[in-house]
Structure 1
């Protein structure tokens, strides 16, 4: 619960060698076509302001976003989880909050600007929540009205239509697929898409890979570029660090012992991520701090 350290690593590795059979994409295909790019983004003042409202005054706005269970003890236990969830939601799209009073958030503009740099590319954008999806859809329609936009969620588009989307998206030549990560059927692949943007991360790379591997296929021949726009200094930085720590554990389970420098390089992290992390304590001003220690394998 508090760390993901591994002890007796040699013995565990010996046991795994007899029981676990896994092959990575690179081992099977003999090629490494994935390139991960980090897009560190600073908070604008109005974005920081709404973030701080949830950080410092969550007790005031909690009932606007979450209903009570009717049990004060359960409500108290849920409060921290709800606060973390809302902080991550703001990190994906600050304007999904009623308290936000600024223009189009910087992260959404960074995504729009990236799309504008690829006028002849089909691009896929994967988020986790429909409220976040709605904000990106609005930004794309406002700033890139000429680009074909295909919005897909599991609740609004039938399975048959999602399967038919493949041909329509390919024929568009420069369409934008904006979807929730879980909405794409596993039986449908989009190997012609080479640009993938993930503005809202999952809690581990395995969860996100179920989405982006719809575009990275064994038959793919072109490089696949994955982009992770991240608000620096937000709880999203902690989430990225957690993804990296879990990936180190996953690689160990697959017989690939790697240090954190290799993991950072794999995910394109070329900035000081650790210095942006929040810790778990609470200071005199009430700031939430969540600590993530360095994982140990011994």
Structure 2
């Protein structure tokens, strides 16, 4: 079969917000408005080959690329050494942005590859494979970005050993506004500055906020969600890396946001709002704060994605 006629799929892999204030390494959400696109094609050549990357300078060598590593993990467990896949990546999420650039690549690769294998693997297995990409990106195979990228909506990682991921309820009128200052904060660097021990009183306060946030999502209690968006452990340390962070957070709440915090390891900052009008008022406030700073930025206003990675084009049916 001509390589161009091999079954292929084009997927959209959403950007994500991890931690969601109080949920460090365990809670994440997927954005609807922005993400990466990837073309994945079955190949006669065994293994994984990355044919092109647009939008970022990243390695084409599969073993050095998060999408390649994640897809290699999937094919290894698939157990048919003759199986090969090619990936072409269009990066719309800048590496180091704090909105899940590496997670989108890893999640898109494994979800698209699984589509070509007639959905052989469960979503939970896909999360596990995508975590291998995160291991390459930052040294820690965390799931708080890849889980919502694959499942959509809000997700909670109850346990890593064994992996246990729970899809949470997402209120229909909940919107997210994200500002991405055009500076890079590497996830590995942002993790290095964190304390390895926390005070028990801070841990108790954080646990209470996580439980209340989950309850607020299920009850669609926006006031409870607002009260729960508090991080007393990680944010006080990481916020020093982000220009005008405290002013941004205070004034966005005045503009109608429920609350928010650092997206992932930063430098992006997210704010949750009830309704699109509030979310856009928050975006205007973000712009008014950042415009005088002389720091370039992008702002995203989005619903919470309900689907995660999705196929936007498919050619032929998978044959494996």
TM-score (normalizing by structure 1):
0.26
Greater percentage in helix: 1
Q: TM-score, normalised by structure 2?
A: 0.24
The structure whose residues are more often strand, as a share, is 2
